[in-house]
Structure 1
């Protein structure tokens, strides 16, 4: 990739390409998007913004 490519972002898919993605990111040539970490972050953000469903509430166990 070179500055002539005019890429604004690069989507990197596949573990073997991670080293190349890190080199591109270090060079600051384009934003690097790693799908799996990005998707995990998105899911965690969405879960943090939601109220837990009522069925997720576990009733207290009483002994008696």
Structure 2
């Protein structure tokens, strides 16, 4: 599994654990539901700022190595 997919899986797991729908997360992060779907599935090319916003809402940290 690639890094992009791993980030998406972590965001999806944290969202579900928090009891949020993709729409809820999108609203809280200020991004579109379509972008949340793209992040979680590792498809498309969502902006890093969008990924960071979703992660931040869920209390996750993105670390660049």
Alignment TM-score > 0.5, same fold? no
Q: How high is the TM-score relative to the length of structure 1?
A: 0.28
Whose strand fraction is larger, Structure 1's or Structure 2's? 1
Q: Please say which structure displays the higher CA radius of gyration.
A: 1
